[in-house]
């Protein structure tokens, strides 16, 4: 749901951290999870690494919404599933995240989320979809040659995503309105009425 974008983005940014330029990372230099390539694509075409390090919060939100959230139709996915797919897309690409979602819900795996995938995702319990997606995601990561380097962090991330996504599936309980004091009605007491039955008069025999 689109109302979850801000919350999902905050969770993603917690996992992504700040500046990173690890030679072993195929994504290259990143700041708050935004790669230099995506920064040039969506914000500034001639940006340098120094520019990337100064990326603003609004620019971060713009990149994440356009390149990841909108790409997986996060605004139309069920609560919790939207975040799980969104984080997968940030970590491994929107196309792969879409295919793994489609596998979890039994849709055609073409890497493009459309009406059929959305319908299938809504037809299954969100918790089941999240568990299957996270299991498949972790299995995929373990097959990567960079698992020995990044495996521990990825494992923690998937575990955290699963827990937070499952929390998002639960609707908040409605607050109970304070109950009004109830006053018991006392039983109405009626005064005892004299019997309406006529009294019997004693008969008097008249002597002649």
Q: Which element (helix H / strand E) includes 35?
A: strand 34-35
How confident is the chain (208 residues) per 10-residue block, as mean pLDDT?
A: 91 90 81 91 92 94 94 97 97 96 98 97 97 98 94 96 95 46 57 52 45
* Confidence at residue 188, expressed as pLDDT on a 0 to 100 scale: 60
Nearest-10 crossing angle of helices 5-16, 81-92: 40
Residue 24 has a pLDDT of 76
Q: Residue 82: its pLDDT value, please? A: 98
**CB 143 within 8 Å of CB 92:** no
Give the single-character DSSP code of 2. Answer: G
Distances (CA, A) of 83 to 10, 56, 76, 208: 11, 22, 11, 116
pLDDT at 27: 75
pLDDT at 197: 52
What pLDDT sits at residue 23? 81
Confirm if 81 and 106 have CB atoms less than 8 A apart. no
Q: 67: closest CA among 31, 103, 33, 42?
A: 42
Coil, strand or helix at 126: helix
pTM of the predicted structure, to 2 decimals = 0.76
């Amino acid at each position: 749901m689109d109302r979850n974008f801000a919350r999902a983005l905050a969770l993603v940014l917690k996992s992504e951290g700040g500046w990173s330029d690890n030679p072993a990372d195929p994504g290259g230099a990143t700041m708050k999870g935004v790669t230099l390539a995506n920064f040039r694509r969506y914000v500034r075409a001639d940006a340098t690494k120094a520019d990337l390090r100064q990326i603003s919060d609004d620019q971060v939100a713009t990149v994440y919404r356009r390149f990841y959230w909108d790409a997986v139709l996060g605004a139309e996915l069920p609560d919790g599933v939207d975040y799980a797919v969104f984080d997968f897309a940030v970590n491994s690409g929107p196309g792969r995240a879409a295919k793994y979602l489609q596998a979890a819900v039994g849709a055609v795996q073409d890497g493009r989320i459309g009406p059929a995938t959305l319908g299938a995702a809504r037809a299954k319990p969100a918790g089941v979809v999240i568990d299957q997606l996270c299991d498949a995601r972790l299995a995929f990561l373990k097959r990567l040659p960079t698992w020995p380097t990044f495996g521990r962090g990825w494992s923690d991330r998937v575990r955290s995503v699963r827990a937070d996504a499952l929390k998002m599936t639960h609707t908040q309980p409605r607050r109970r309105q304070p109950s009004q004091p109830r006053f018991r009605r006392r039983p109405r007491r009626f005064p005892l009425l004299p019997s309406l039955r006529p009294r019997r008069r004693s008969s008097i025999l008249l002597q002649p």
